[in-house]
Each structure stands twice: as structure tokens, then as C-alpha cells.
Structure 1
Amino acid sequence: MFGKKSFPAPCVMGDESIMSPKSHGTSAVPVQNNLRWGCDRDTADRICNFNRHYAEYSGYFEKTNFIKDAKANPEEINFYDSNTGKLLFTAPKGRTMDEFLTESRAHGWPSFRDQEVNWDFVRVLSDGETVSVDGTHLGHNLPDKKGSRYCINLVSVAGNPTHD
């Protein structure tokens, strides 16, 4: 199911070494306490740090406070790494919040497009796995006729911003 793929630009490709074992699974740190939108910390920790292929269940994000927050903030929402607090995605960009939510609901996970990715901290591995530069498993790039589409676990991007 996961083999080498060719992805449309502007994906920033990463090396498998990003996901090498660290002090907490594939990350140097565990998931933050008090994740946003009421996301479950134990689920987040398993998916972010001890997993390479699995995901939260389809529609999980709709069972959280995320939709309510998105409708209350229809301009843009920032999504932060649940481990490090680094900014990974900002959505919607180039589309409305309704379009972002409609596409996300259709696929079962928050679905981001290239212009919504912060390529300073996000990489795509050769099999499509989408990860943070710090080793957080985020989801997968599943391109469609519109280009790259990043199906991302909400628990992976429900962190709070940190300032280094």
C-alpha cells in the first residue's frame, strides 16, 4: 500500500531519518498537555510518536470542538505540532472555511493543500507519510485531481504554540 510515489510540487520531501527513534518514540518530547479542541492526549501520543501508518478514526475531528471553533473563526486557524508547538498549517488559504470543512468532512480528516502547509516544519516522505521535521507523524499526502492533499490527524496538530 505504501510505496515510492511521485508528488506534485511544491512538496518539500524529507528523508526517512526524520522518523528515527528518539527519546519518546519518533519525537524527542511527548505530546503537550491540554491539547486544543478537546483532543485526547493518549490517542495523540500514540499517533504522533509511536505510529507510522495508522490514524485517528475517520470523522474524529467532528466529535471534538474543532468545527465549533472553525465556524467561530472563519478567516484562518493555525494548527500547531502537538509535541513541539511549532506552526505546521494555516487554513483556509485560497478557499473559504466552508470549502475547507466540506473537503475535510468528505475525506474524514482535516485536509490541507500546499498553500496551507508551513514547509519550514513539514516534510513528505517517499511513501507519502507526512511528518514534522521533529518526528511527529501527521498523516499522509493523498494527491487528487487538484494536487497534493494532506489528510492530517487532528490530534497531531492540536498543540498550543510555543515560543523558543
Structure 2
Amino acid sequence: MMPTTAKYPPPAVMGSESIMSKKAHGTSSMPVQENLRWKCDRDVADRICNYNRHYAEFSGYYRTLPEFLNEANDTPATDEMTFYDSNTGKPLFYAPRGRTMDEFLRESRNHGWPSFRDQEVNWDFVRILPNGETVSVDGTHLGHNLPDGKGSRYCINLVCIAGRPMDEPKEC
């Protein structure tokens, strides 16, 4: 838990515990999408997104997915990647924003999970609970806010943000 004397501001948008109340599918009204991006493991994603409040995919999981690393490395310096809720397809994070892709990947590698900063969070759909748990407004567990000397840092499970956009057609 963040001490009250922190030298950096609290997360931009806090949420209440009620977001994670029991719904039709764990903490969400639906299971994860059938065809997650980057060939993420759907069973792991469903367990972490919807039936979990504390655990995570293993450290470095995102680095075992060549499809993700290729997309990140192929993203032009002037562009950013959009990360979507694995349940709903809503856009949750944009990276890199305010830094380079190399800086985003280096920080993620140093911490073991994709690591986002406040300016990379879509606050329309992401909330931080008082204990630091980072969730979607629809009840998807995403990860945790683990502040450091630069401010809030959101360590997020890639399986929870590997959804396809809401309006993207489903593959057969």
C-alpha cells in the first residue's frame, strides 16, 4: 500500500471494490474472447481476468510470445500500440506514450510484465482500487499499481489486455 507521504500523486482515477463484485462469469459478465491477440493462452487469461484478484501470469510471459514482440518492434517510432480488454475489447492502454517503444519494453523487461504509466492509461475504462489492484470498469482484473520513484507504474498481465477491438470482426 502506498504511504500517505508519497512524493508522487495517487493514480488518476480510483474505483470502488464494487467493480469486482460477483457477476455472471466471475468478476466479469462474460468470458475472455475466443481468439486473443499474440496467441495468448485463453485458459490462463480467463482464470486471471475473471477468477483472480491477486495472482499473475508468470514473470516474463509476454517475452515468450514472438507475435507480441514482433508487433512491438515493428511499431513505427511515431505510432503506439493499443491494448484491449480481453473480455470486452475496450481499449485500456496505449504505449508508448510520452516515451519510446524501447523505453516501454525495457521497463517491462525489468519488471517482468508490461508496465504502463499514467499517460498510457485509458481512464475511461481503467480504475485503481484502494489496495492498488488495477481493473477494468467491467470487472476484468488487469494487474497492480506498483509505484516507483517516477510515480504510478501499472504492472499488467498481457493475457488481460490481449483482446481484440470491440468492433473487429471475429475470425472463423
Question: Please, which of 51, 67, 70 is the counterpart of residue 68 of structure 1?
Answer: 70
Could you tell me how far apart the structure 1 residues matched to 2:160 and 2:108 are?
A: 15
Q: What residue in structure 1 maps to residue 170 of structure 2?
A: none
Deviation at 1:73, TM superposition (A): 1.2
* Uncovered stretches (5+) of structure 1, i.e. residues with no partner: none
Q: Deviations over 1:47-95 (max 9, x none)?
A: 0000000000000000012111100114200000000000000000000
Name which one, 1 or 2, has greater alpha-carbon Rg: 2
Alpha-carbon contact 2:146-2:153 (below 8 Å) kept? yes
Kindly report structure 1 stretches of 4+ aligned residues shifted beyond 3 Å.
3-7
SS of residue matched to 1:131:
strand
Q: Which amino acid in 2 is paired with 1:44?
A: A
Counting matched residue pairs gives: 162
Deviation at 1:46, TM superposition (A): 0.1
Could you tell me how far apart the structure 1 residues matched to 2:43 and 2:10 are?
A: 34
**1:115 is aligned to 2:119:** yes
Q: Percent identity?
A: 72
Question: Please, which of 75, 79, 83 is the counterpart of residue 79 of structure 1?
Answer: 83
**1:156 is aligned to 2:160:** yes
Q: What residue in structure 1 maps to residue 97 of structure 2?
A: 93
Alpha-carbon contact 1:5-1:127 (below 8 Å) kept? no
* Uncovered stretches (5+) of structure 2, i.e. residues with no partner: 168-172
Q: Which amino acid in 1 is paired with 2:71?
A: D
Q: What residue in structure 1 maps to residue 41 of structure 2?
A: 40
Alpha-carbon contact 1:4-1:126 (below 8 Å) kept? no
Q: Which amino acid in 1 is paired with 2:63?
A: E
Q: Which amino acid in 1 is paired with 2:102?
A: D
SS of residue matched to 2:30:
coil
Q: Deviations over 1:14-46 (max 9, x none)?
A: 000000000000000000011001100000000
Could you tell me how far apart the structure 2 residues matched to 1:5 and 1:123 are?
A: 19
Alpha-carbon contact 2:80-2:94 (below 8 Å) kept? yes
Could you tell me how far apart the structure 1 residues matched to 2:123 and 2:68 are?
A: 23
